[in-house]
Amino acid sequence: MQNASSRPIALITGITGQDGSYLTELLLAKGYEVHGLVWHASQLERSPIGPLVRDPQINGKTLFFHSGDLADGQTLRRVFQEVTPQEVYHLGGQSHVGRSFEIPESTCEEVGMASLRLLESSRALAGSVKIYLASTAEVFGAAAEVPQTEETKFRPTSPYGCAKAFMTQISRVYRQSYGIFVCNGILYNHESPRRGEAFVTRKISRTVAAIQHGLTDKLVLGNTQARRDWGHAQDYVEAMWMMLQHPRPDDYIVATGVTHSVQDFVEAAFAVAGLPWEKYLVTDRTLERRLEPTQLVGNPAKIQQTLGWHPEHSFEGLVREMVEADLADLASK
């Protein structure tokens, strides 16, 4: 299956998600052979990676899928041995902050322990493998400084943030103790039309489109004054790839360095549809987070200076792309 050509080989966990689908497209465009670890193969065509799955020139030619579970270390080792990847991008696991309060044990299992199993599996490989781990700004939580840098202390405020903090720290131990080439991308919020509908940005864009099509008459949100450092997922997967091309493994903050409020996102989204947001927005305090983190805004100086990474998408362009995609999607149904 692999080794038939000189293509570099990459393995992606979480390949069916927003980041996984964009990363797969990026790697295929760069001439990679891409392998994805998937839980239910039957769901592939309904995921963001569906168009690639349906392309007979790609699926089974340069894109392959392996059934497995991040909770099963034996499966991970088997897939590693079958694929023998040069690069591994670990994007899988529960990634919704609010949901992590509802399912804290499985969140910590999927995010923390699964990452440890992956690191252990990589140690068993003959030869070198470069690993990217998807960390998050949620590790900073109640941050002691604004903006945050790679040296900012971890102070997570959610089970999800705690699990990611463990993942980030244990990978540093493996890097120092075993010489494993592992990078942590401490990613701030990044969105796209492929974002899951449970996330606030997609909830906004989808509801605005539904209002425009007469399918609903209100948008219900919690704290609209909460601020986030929002970027575009396409820019951020480029950063993931760049980390593994650098000669030395390290950790990098991936952010725009600029914050916007949820209210800003709401107003920009309604403007795309030409609708007055005041008429439709309803706030519900029961939807607010149990503990809102300190203003999370990243300082991307290190990745800009070391790797030359810079985001290409603007906030306004991101919002427009998301709303227009949802408008088009609902129009086709």
What angle (nearest 5°) sits at the alpha carbon of residue 23, between those of residues 19 and 26? 145
CA dist 192 and 253 (Å) reads: 19
The set of residues, in sequence order, having a beta carbon less than 8 Å from that of 76 and lying 6+ positions away, is 37, 68, 70, 117, 118, 121
**How large is the angle between the packed helices 315-331 and 200-212, nearest 10 degrees?**
50
Across 217-290, the runs of DSSP E, i.e. the strands, are 219-221, 227-228, 231-232, 251-254, 260-261, 281-283
Asked if residue 236 lies in contact with residue 18, where contact means CB atoms within 8 angstroms, the answer is no
The residue annotated as part of the active site, out of 87, 138, 191, 321, is: 138
> Could you please report the per-residue DSSP string of 11-74?
EEESTTSHHHHHHHHHHHHTT-EEEEEES-GGGGGGSTTHHHHT-TTTBTTTEEEEE--TT-HH
The residue annotated as part of the active site, out of 132, 160, 188, 236, is: 160
Token pair recorded at residue 164? 């990611």
The residue annotated as part of the active site, out of 13, 24, 62, 136, is: 136
CA dist 36 and 12 (Å) reads: 5
Peptide bond into 147 cis (omega under 30): yes
Exposed/middle/buried for residue 156 (C-beta within 10 Å: 0-12, 13-18, 19+) = buried
Token pair recorded at residue 8? 């570099």
Active site annotation includes 174: no
Token pair recorded at residue 73? 């270390």
With CA atoms as reference, report the closest residue to 135 among 152, 123, 122, 121: 152
> Active-site residue numbers?
136, 138, 160
